[in-house]
Homo-oligomer: A and B are copies of this chain.
Amino acid sequence: MNQISISERQARAVGQPDLRTIDCDPDFWYPVAWSRELKAGKTLGTRYAGQPIALVRPTEGDVFALEDRCAHRQVPLSKGRVQGQAVQCCYHGWAYGRSGRCIDVPYLGKGKLPNGVRTYPCREAGGLIFVFPGDAALAETVPLPTLAQVADPGYKTRQFGPRVACHYSFMHENLMDMNHQFLHRRQMGRIRARLLGQDRGETFVEARYSFARTGNHQPLAEALIFGRHRDLQGRPQPVEEVVTIRTDYPYQTLRIVDKDGDLIMDLWVAYVPQSADQRTTRAFGLLSVQRPKTPFLIDLIWPALGVFTNRIFEEDREVVELEQQAWDAQGGDRNREVFPVVNHLRALLARAGLRAPP
């Protein structure tokens, strides 16, 4: 305990900023919408860390992304009308092309068109629309992430995208620390996580766990995916899957490999800051589940799996929002973290993120 207090005091002494005031590094591709949310010939207003972004999908051609404020009177362009490869502001009809340049003011001569609006590099993959909110010059050199197993027909992938009223760092810590299975005891039965190993580098932290069931109760949806772990007498047996959780900045994955080395579940998730203070987050998650030998079985259990994961996520959402509320009430971080994996993760998030302006 003294050791913990000392390291905390040292951190404060050297002026380390509060983790919950560290902004995400914007020089990555962040999802800002699901593809299905944006129909052809339509616009969609979204945001990254307080920056309003208008997504525009022309009837022909790729989606593009503009600052969601008309240069004229700052009304959202996402309220406007798509015309060919341009979007027209709803108010006075100013039109902007794919590059953000103003190409028409209906009541002004073409010679004296005003400047336009910011444009964001924009890509679409795996059912998600990504923008690059940072330095556009870097966009070409930064790859899109691998999106679970969306491209592999051997897996079925579920999308989920909740909004959570907390700083993104609470989300990373929540998933990384599997000791929080206690929180899900009603959904999951009594499970004890055991840390098998960890790994870390400049841009990632990884932890590997096995799980031992300490009670009898195994939920239906879990049993259908992973099979029942019972011996010949019907007594519950230790689960032998390995669960690997990895924050590969700024994304997070959870992969489950069974005792034969098969990847049976692959979760990818991005936490996208919504408000300028980054204390609200929208998660975009892709959960790929290996299709079983009996092909229709996955479709059969799919609804139950949805209910099961939603319930678990609701418990997580409640607790991370309570963490943010405690941070707000106390005006700062009072965490006393004792789990080394989480402390490594906190260091990574602090190192890779941006110190918010004071």
Contact = CB atoms under 8 A, between A and B. Distances in A.
Interface residues on A, range: 35 or more
A277 interface: no
Nearest to A68: B326
B334 A92 contact: no
Contacts of A114: 1, 4, 336, 338
A183 B334 contact: no
Contacts of A196: none
A177 interface: yes
Given A1-B114, A114-B1, A74 B335 contact: yes
Contact of A93 (B72, B115, B182, B337): B182
Q: Could you say which of A4, A73, A79, A182 has the most chain B C-beta atoms within 10 Å of its C-beta?
A: A73
Interface string A254-284: 0000000000000000000000000000000
Contact of A327 (B74, B319, B322, B323): B74
Given A179-B92, A182-B90, A326-B74, A1 B334 contact: no
Interface string A67-96: 001011111100100000000101111000
Interface string A87-115: 01011110000000000011110001111
A7 interface: no
Q: Could you say which of A52, A75, A192, A339 has the most chain B C-beta atoms within 10 Å of its C-beta?
A: A75
Contacts of A93: 179, 182
The DSSP consensus for interface residues of chain A is: loop
A113 B326 contact: no
Interface string A177-203: 101101100000000110000000000
Contacts of A107: 179, 193, 339
A141 interface: no
A338 B73 contact: no
Given A79-B319, A90-B183, A107-B339, 16 more contacts: A72-B335, A72-B338, A73-B323, A73-B335, A74-B327, A74-B330, A75-B323, A91-B183, A91-B319, A92-B177, A92-B183, A93-B182, A106-B182, A108-B338, A114-B338, A115-B336
The 8 A-B residue pairs with the shortest CB-CB distance, nearest first, are A74-B326, A93-B182, A107-B179, A92-B179, A75-B322, A1-B114, A92-B180, A91-B319
Interface of A: 1, 4, 50, 52, 69, 71-76, 79, 88, 90-93, 105-108, 112-115, 177, 179-180, 182-183, 192-193, 319, 322-323, 326-327, 329-330, 334-339
